[in-house]
Structure 1
Amino acid sequence: MKSNERLSAVPTNVITGALGVGKTTFIERLLREKPDHERWAVLVNEFGEVGIDGGLLKDPNRQGVFIAQVPGGCMCCTAGLSMQITLNRLIARAKPHRLLIEPTGLGHPAEVLATLQAPHYRDIINVKATLTLIDARRVNDSLWLDNASYRQQMQVADAYICSKADLYTGIESKLLQEYVETQGLNKKPLLMEFDSEQVNALLEMPCVYQAVDCPVPAISLRKKALSVSEQLATQDFIRLNNSGDGFTSFGWALAPHKRFDLHRVLKVLRDVSINRLKAILITYQGIFAFNIVGKEMDYQEIDESDDSRLEFISDDSTAAQQLAQQLEVSLFALVE
């Protein structure tokens, strides 16, 4: 980029949706299809303290993509301090043509939008459509319907996009359409599956939601905590946990020379049933990314990772403690 090049206010989209709906997968697909000449920035927020989604979005062969993470709960809390500091640094570093923001599925998208619409961002950020992803198989799931964050995600959305449509049996589309009608949301666009041309059009739609109260610019007087990567420079193993809004998370990070056995990992994780589990693990057989939602697990080999990380979220604190102990005994204790 030339030093005298000046970008106008950056088109910015918030990509939201419940835990495990596929937000990171959706963003990864957007990045694969971005114009080659453009720089895109992604700000990822996770409830857990370890931070894994940023690693899932990294691709050494992809040019013009800049990623930053805000782990440890909803990034809009504490007057948006964590979000604003990380966002300012990301924009300064990337000077992006587009910015994508992925709040945690347990976060508050209305507050995120309030931060983006604050007066001090008016000439920097052009807030475009908020896209909410929905897994239509879970449209009547009480865990979602009774969750205030999920209801807020539906209300602030400018459009809805169905995720994991390849797993639908046929009735899900009808149930989803009935749901949005009963909620009075049926005037908003609804895509039943990913279509590049239609999604690109949605990205350019305006943001209808307008915040009433906007946070002031963030000024941090606190000493910056060491990141997980910085901590792993001096120690081989880190364990972190978090809790809030009825959910508990446990996460682990291991130095890159610590290697897992893939067969043991699969044996252990196939018995796990949890709200959400994500991992990137360096094994003797390669580097693999794992994803569990409920009882459904999938995994794939990826090209690279700076270290190994595993994190899960549960709405049952007792079950979370038990699973954490189980993983430490049957998995982490055996890593060499």
Structure 2
Amino acid sequence: LDTLTSEHYQDVLSLGPVLTLVDPRKLEDPRVLKNVHFRDQVAAADILVANKTDLCSTRQLAAFDRWASELDPPKQHVFHTQQGQLAPAWLDGRADSRAVSTPHAHHHHSPREVAPAPDIQTKPWQRVSNQGQGHFSLGWRVHPDVVFDENRLMALAGDERIVRFKAVVNTPESWRVINVVDGALSVFDSEARDMSRIELISASELNADELDRAIRVAAGRSTQDE
């Protein structure tokens, strides 16, 4: 937003209201409310929209409305919707000048070198892990010639310990995007990529070796294959 409202763009861009969609059910998780990125997305919003209201209870919607009404500064509008449907009229008007909640949280005070990922041709099976903001992630980068069993990956994505599953993989039919969040599965075709990528996000640390074996089974590989 700072870039879009900078002097360079003032004569060519007019920034309308900033909308942020929130799943009211997520407000029940204290980690979400403490998450820096979530707080900043909310702080930057002129308009808050409660999404997926068809999946929320009356209590959850009331809690969202109460939380939204207590935000300072107040929002221009607060709306409810389902399936991400937005009314064009909500985009009328202009953005307010809003500061993020924690402006220094996104800056590294002591820059460090980040090693580049190994070349996928040299190391065709790569596993990475990370953690932050109360969540853990495991990711894989795999050579594009490796073909995955889509059904095995979707079965893995249904593991209740995994809160988010994202994959762009080569399958026997085509390259596919598999996305699971909050139990909702979406699968669609993709253009061929330079590698397959898989990421699992969980609320607690998972057994990386166990999941690596499951991913390898979906790829028809053994632990000795590299």
The reply to whether TM is greater than 0.5 is yes
Q: What is the 5 A alignment of 1:166-245? A: 166-184=54-72, 186-193=74-81, 194-201=85-92, 205-210=94-99, 226=116, 231-245=119-133
Structure 1 distance, partners of 2:43, 2:160, is 33
After superposition, the Cα gap between the structure-2 partners of 1:156 and 1:237, relative to the gap in structure 1 and judged at 3 Å, is same
After superposition, the Cα gap between the structure-2 partners of 1:301 and 1:210, relative to the gap in structure 1 and judged at 3 Å, is closer
The corresponding residue for 2:212 is 328
Structure 2 distance, partners of 1:273, 1:184, is 35
Gaps of 5+ in 2: 105-111, 221-226
**Offset at 1:334?**
4.7
Q: Which has the higher helix share?
A: 1
After superposition, the Cα gap between the structure-2 partners of 1:138 and 1:286, relative to the gap in structure 1 and judged at 3 Å, is same
2:170 maps to 1:279? no
Q: Select which of 302, 305, 326 maps to 2:189.
A: 302
Higher relative contact order (CA 8 A, sep 6+): 1
Structure 2 distance, partners of 1:190, 1:315, is 29
Q: What is the 5 A alignment of 1:64-75? A: none
2:8 alignment partner, SS class:
coil
1:288 and 1:299 in contact (8 A); partners too: no
The corresponding residue for 1:162 is 50
Structure 1 distance, partners of 2:89, 2:120, is 42
Structure 2 distance, partners of 1:333, 1:251, is 16
Q: Whose radius of gyration is greater, 1 or 2?
A: 2
**Offset at 1:311?**
1.0
1:271 alignment partner, SS class:
coil
Deviations along 1:223-257, whole A, 9 cap, x unmatched? 9965x6x8324442222222334443221111221
Q: Select which of 184, 194, 200 maps to 1:312.
A: 200
Deviations along 1:10-43, whole A, 9 cap, x unmatched? xxx6xxxxxxxxxxxxxxxxxxxxxxxxxxxxxx
1:274 and 1:292 in contact (8 A); partners too: no
Q: TM-score, normalised on structure 1? A: 0.51
User: Which amino acid in 1 is paired with 2:98?
Assistant: Y
How many residues align structurally?
206
User: Which amino acid in 2 is paired with 1:198?
Assistant: A
**Offset at 1:165?**
3.6
**Offset at 1:196?**
4.4
Gaps of 5+ in 1: 1-12, 14-112, 215-221
Q: Provide the aligned C-alpha RMSD in A.
A: 3.5
Q: TM-score, normalised on structure 2? A: 0.71
